Structure 1
Amino acid sequence: MAAAPHDPPAGDAGGLFLGLISGTSVDGIDAALVAFDPAPRLLFGRTYPMPADLAADVLSLSQVQARITLDEAGRLDTRLGQAFAAVALRAIADSGLDRSRVRAIGSHGQTLRHDPRGAAPFTQQYGDASVIAEATGLTTVADFRRRDVAAGGQGAPLMPAFHAAVMRSADEDRAILNLGGIANLTLLPRDGEVRGFDTGPANGLMDAWCQRHRGQSYDRDAAFAREGRIDPGLLARLLDDDYFVLPPPKSTGRDQFQLAWVEARLPGTPASPADVQATLCELSAVTIARALDQTLPGARRLLACGGGVHNPLLMQRLAEHLPGVQVGSTASLGLDPDFIEAAGFAWLARETLAGRPGNLPSVTGARGPRVLGAIHPA
């Protein structure tokens, strides 16, 4: 999926696909224009800001204790659809590519709730795909997760099938780590089935704590965390959560790992804000490293993607906790780590339109392979 600034070769008869996603960090909407000829190539990738009032509403409503009326839910669905449509149109224009070559949009939407383990399992992604299709005039594939949940799966993570198609090696056991608001691992052994699961928090808790105490949406260069020290007692309380010992398949979200979850584990005399930030960074590193050690102990390479690759302290701590593993980013394979997930939803849209399954039952626990998503024609 090497980057290319201009049109793909004329032989690419399958058209281009545009992937869109706003993840649990809610730090913007990623757009990736991808050609498949036949391997995926990133032609254009950019992150566009989400309107501040919309991002604030999403962050507020993604908390588990939040309440929302049906009217508010409907309006939020439409507003997110409008935001995604605007980004799609801007991305196509900014890319300089011929709009007529874009065959479809694959829109993940914005996750507001994710509870695949309850008596009535569900997952909710907002961003009305009908609004996107109407505003852009392009076929839009969306709602990728619910079919897997209906088939008894977690509905997440969905990227392992894409990771396996693009980054599996016959020469080594390797893992792909997506560092969004939540961290998820894809396990790619040389032999055997692909597995994957959410390990727990990646950037989400650090971002929220940084926003509260520094007024910044994320901890640039880990400057805030570097001011503090890891609090062993707090770290132990954070690690004492059933999710971390739950065997895969498993998935989680910001509705579980949120600031209220952290506050409930702070001592009566809390650590300094910087110490908490350093400890939250360590929490992400420890839970990821433990999960990899337990599930693919033969891994020799860990390739990270997502916003967390830009947190030097997190990457450093991962390397220190995994001394036998080469820790780096997908850039070492020529794959831009910032747009792997958006490109993955472009790929999923392509699979859906071709009538091919997009899930991996070995990852999600679904009863079998399923074609994912709903198609909204242009």
Structure 2
Amino acid sequence: MMNTSPPPGRMIAALRLVEGAPAVELEVSDAFIDAEGDSLEYTAVSSDELVATAEAVEARITIRPVSPGKTTISVRATDPGDLSATQSFAVTTVVSSLDRNALIVFYDMTGGPDWTERANWLSNAPLDEWHGVSTDADGMVTRLALNGNTLQGPLPEELGQLGNLTVLDLGNNHLSGSIPTSVGQLTLLESLNLEENQLTGTLPIDIEQLVNLETFRLAGNQLSGGIPAELEHLDALEVLDLGDNTFTGPIPPEIGTLEALFHLDLSDNRLTGPLPPEVGRLSNLSILNVASNPELAGPLPLALSRLDLESLHVNGTQLCVPLSEEFVEWLSNIPDLGEIPVCPDE
């Protein structure tokens, strides 16, 4: 039988690689067919090794991105009779984005190799194919959702580089350390969930810059210090849950400026003083929980009766019901009402 050169089989598709990303390996044994069934030897050459390099080991081609640009990779298959065939395909190496770099730091700092799910992280795949990541039409990260994914370690300052982020959901993990001040740079953020972690330290004042924030959940951490009055700048806030931490000091009256707020949970902390009457200005408030703050004390403010509450819990405090028939009648109309003692007759 006359020997013939191995004809092409499957066409090798063009590649898009990211500068600094890991090498890509291609299996090309099905890209060439030898009619005589002979074993083939493979070589691979890049037309511009400043863009990407290529190396063949048997039928496996390793392509490593170097710097931005375009190159052509030529793969040659040669049979024992020295007859050969070649396939060429384009490789484009693109600049690594700030968003990608920030995600890489985040992955490294939070124990990425041990995450429960980490599909495509650190790969050349588009960012919206990385597990838990969503992007807009321009490839900018808009959502990072890794709830319950066994993240551990501190949150890096580089999170602040994700300037298009609208949702950050890292709840139910093992994150530790303080909340980085750079979170204040995420001014498009609408939902921030860091609940049920091991975060410590104080709430950074920079949070006041999150003027689009609607949901803010920090419950179940070890955060301390006072609740900053600067929260008054979060005009869009609808849900504020700071429960089960170690916050101290008074409830800031500035909270009464959050007109969109309908869920306020400050339970299981070490807050002191009275419940400020400014809470009565929260016309949309439906759920109020300040339970298990033993040093909260005094009569519930009469201004609360302006609200149409569905749930009110103050058990585990020294707060009490003022001697007002109208207030007592208002309380009786709250569907979910914890036990509250009547204030002593002065």
Give the TM-score normalised by structure 2: 0.22
Larger proportion of helix: 1
Give the TM-score normalised by structure 1: 0.20
With CA pairs under 8 Å and 6+ residues apart, which has the higher RCO, 1 or 2? 1
